[in-house]
Amino acid sequence: MRKLAIYLQNKRLLKFSAAFILLAAILLRALFMYTSLNHLPVTTDEAMSVLAAKKIWGGAWLILMPGTPYFFPFESYLLTPLVDWMPRNAVGVRYLPFILGSISVIGFLYIARRCLQKDSRWPAYAWILVPSSYLLMYQSAYIPTNYAITITFAWVVALLFDICQKRAHSNFLIFVVGVLGGLAFSTHILSLAFVFPAFLFLCFGDKIRHIVIRTVSLSAGAVIGLLPFLLSIIVYPGAHRAVSQLIPLNKILYKLWNPGLTETLPGVLGINPSLFPDFDVYLNQPHFLRTIVTYVYLAILILVVANRTMLFIRRLRRHRWPSFEVHDLFVAASIIALILYSMNLRAQSETYRYLLIPALYFPFL
C-alpha cells in the first residue's frame, strides 16, 4: 500500500500511465472497429433496423421493431435522417452504434470524475477505458439492436439522477429523467434494472415535503416516455410475452448462482469471453478463473452493500428521512439486473447481454 501511495503521488508516472491507458483504449477500439467493418457482414437484426428506418423515413410510425416485436425501434428513428445517404454495408449500419458507444465512454468517465473521490477515480478510469472484451464488442464491434441506446440511457439517467439529487430545485430535470427512463424501458425492458431504482430514489428526495412534487414531475415524464410501450400493449397485445416469461420461483436462487454468478457474469467481465456476443464459442481459458471472479465480485458487492447501508442509516438519522446517492443507484441496478436475469426464462449461460448493466456499473461499486 505504501508503494501504491508513493506511485499515486508521482504526477509524472500518473501522467505516463494515463497516456498509456488512453492510447491502449483508442487502439483497441480502432482494432475492434476495423475488424467489425472489414470481416463481419451485416446481420439480419442490423438489416431489419435499417429497413425499419426506411419505413419511418417513408412516413410510417413504428412502435415495435419488425422481426423482434418487443423493442421500440428508437435506434431506427435515430438512423432515419441519414438512411438514404449511408452506404448499404457495415458502415451504414454500425456508424450510429459506434458513435453512441464512443460517447458512452466519455459519459461514464465524466460520471466517475463527478461522483468518485479523487483517490478512487484511477481504477474506474482504467476499467471504463479498457473494459472487458465483451463490453468492447458492444461499444466498437458488434452491437445488437437497441443495446447501444440502452447503454446511452444507462449513463445519461445515472448522470441526471446525480444532478437532481445535488440540486435544490430540480423538478424539471426530474421530469426529464422520467421521460428518458420511460423511453429507456420502452426501448428495452432490461433497462428496468436502472430505471426502477432511479425513479424510486428520486421520489424520496431528501425531505418529506419534496416527495409529492417529485413524484408528480417524475410520473408526468414517465407517462410520456412510456407511450410507445403502452401503445404497443394496446395495439399488439402479447407482443412482449416472449421476453417476459418467468421461471418457477423455486428455481430462481439456483439459476442466480449457476449459471448467473458462476458463468454469465464472469463472461461479461471478460473471463473466458465468447468470440462473438452471446455465442458459445470461447477462448478456452481455465474455468477456475471464472470461479475466482465470482467470489471476488460477490465479496466486493457484499462490502459495498454493507458500506452503503451504513451511510444510508447515517443520513437517515441526520435528516430523519431516507435519501439516496448515485452510488446507491449503481449498487441497486447491479443487484436488480442479477435478479431479473435469474427470473427470466430466456436468460441462459451464454446470454451475457442480460448482465450488461452490472458490467457497465462495476467501476462505480
Backbone angles phi, psi at 348, to 5 degrees: -125, 180
pLDDT at 6: 55
Q: pLDDT digit of tens for each residue in the chain (365 aa)?
A: 555 555 555 677 778 888 899 999 999 999 999 999 999 999 988 999 999 999 999 999 998 887 676 789 999 999 999 999 999 999 999 999 999 999 999 999 999 999 998 888 989 999 999 999 999 999 999 998 899 999 999 999 999 999 999 887 789 999 999 999 999 999 999 999 999 999 999 998 877 778 899 999 999 999 999 999 999 889 888 777 777 788 988 899 999 999 999 999 999 999 988 888 888 778 778 888 999 999 999 999 999 999 999 999 999 999 888 999 999 999 999 999 999 999 998 888 889 999 999 999 999 99
Alpha-carbon span 342 to 264, nearest angstrom: 11
What is the tens place of the pLDDT at every residue in 168-214?
778 999 999 999 999 999 999 999 999 999 999 999 887 777 889 99
pLDDT at 2: 57
- CA–chain centroid gap for 222, Å, is 19
Q: Tell me which amino acid residue 358 is.
A: P
pLDDT at 58: 92
Q: Give the predicted TM-score (pTM) of the model.
A: 0.93
pLDDT at 4: 52
Closest CA to 270 of 142, 141, 359: 359
pLDDT at 275: 82
- CA–chain centroid gap for 246, Å, is 22
